[in-house]
Structure 1
Amino acid sequence: MSQVNKKTAQMTQLTLLIAILVVLTFTPLGFIQIPPVEITILHIPVIIGAIAMGPVCGGILGLAFGVLSMLKATFMGVSPIDLMFSPFASGAPIQSLVMCILPRVLLGVIAGVLYEVLKSRLSNDALSIGISAGAATLCHTVLVMGCLWFFFSAIPLKEVFLTIVGVNGLLELGVGIVITIAVCKPLMKYLKTRVAV
């Protein structure tokens, strides 16, 4: 496959994953509801793209995820925490932008870099994918919660942190690992056959 065709294929794949992010962000499809908790799967396309296409693509997908989070918080935010992700509603526009963008970009970069390192050291690809997905998800959760605490310390963060990390975070971690392994293994096999053509 020529260099131009590879770039076109990669741009097409990125566009498809961004479209999936848009659908997941603005519809209920991005959330799994198991009362009393709601688990988000919005981060999963970023991790899948980072693992399948590399850390640069992961960073681009993370940027898209951050911008979409900001838009959703601005136009569809309902809780006080949602509104902190909106530079227009939070009262701290720069902090909201940093909180929306930085953890999401790092989510993709960390997943991509970690997978690149692990795939050469571990013989089990599913294990490399699972560790990368889990570590990136955990880093993302810690970074977002850290930004909330650092920028908006007036929030009763202890209760919020315990709820999100204790319940949602662990469930999102498990769901993220399972879905990422299930999607990445066949996707990467398909992408390798497409590149070889």
Structure 2
Amino acid sequence: MTAIAQKRFSTKTLTVTAVMVALTLILAFTPIGMIRLPLVSITIAHVPAIIAALVLGLSEGFVVALTFGFSSLFLAISAPGSILDPFFVNPLISVLPRALIPVTAYFTYKGLHKALKNLRQGENIAIIVAAAVGNLTNTFGVYFMLYIIYAQQIFEKSGQPALSLIITAISTTTLYKTIGIILITLPVVKALQRFQRSGR
């Protein structure tokens, strides 16, 4: 790759990363990406982190994921809206699980992309599974940390055993949210991959 091509590619990478960071902030701070419920907030603000990891790479995905994590931390401090939101003032709840989203999505995608490279739909399968894994990393990572750190406080605050409350929250939304995130991620990743390849 020539120096000019490298510069163009780097500019595209920075541009897409900046767009994903901006989109994360929009989703995190508006009802578009954050639905406040009495029990828990439902979010799709981690979708840009998944997309960035799959299209741009692990480091770019990590930057976008941290944007989401620190946005969650800020919202927990400034505008808690659900029973569980006050616990997100702890970075182990709000930031750490979000930092793992691009890691699991990226390596799932890379592994499946390599394993399924001779399969006609291998690329699409890799993106779909990676999107699902990234979403589940967010969901189960957050709830796992909530349980191991704040089980007693959750019981005192909600009047329900923490495990029961968490299982209810997961079973209510996870399947539908995962399907929705896959439907968003697949076409966006494919479009951005074409954008990244153009002009090389």
Match of 2:104 in 1: 110
Max Rg structure:
2
SS of residue paired to 2:81: coil
Q: Could you tell which deviates more after superposition, 173-182 or 158-167?
A: 158-167
From 42, 45, 51, the equivalent of 1:42 is 45
Instruction: Report the TM-score when normalising by structure 2.
Output: 0.84
Contact 1:59–1:108 (CA under 8 A) maintained in structure 2:
yes
1:161 is displaced (CA, Å) by 1.4
Alignment of 1:159 with 2:157, yes or no, is: no
SS of residue paired to 1:58: helix
From 46, 49, 55, the equivalent of 1:52 is 55
Match of 2:66 in 1: 63
SS of residue paired to 2:198: helix
Match of 2:148 in 1: 150
Contact 1:54–1:113 (CA under 8 A) maintained in structure 2:
no
Aligned equivalents of 1:166, 1:52: Cα separation in 2: 30
Instruction: Report the TM-score when normalising by structure 1.
Output: 0.85
Match of 1:140 in 2: 138
Q: After TM superposition, where is structure 1 displaced by more than 4 Å over at least 4 residues in a row?
A: none
Match of 2:129 in 1: 131
Identity of aligned residues (%): 30
**Aligned residue pair count:** 185
Aligned equivalents of 1:163, 1:48: Cα separation in 2: 28
Aligned equivalents of 2:176, 2:34: Cα separation in 1: 12
**Structure 2: segments with no counterpart, 5+ residues:** 155-160
Contact 1:39–1:171 (CA under 8 A) maintained in structure 2:
no
Match of 1:190 in 2: 195
**Structure 1: segments with no counterpart, 5+ residues:** 87-95
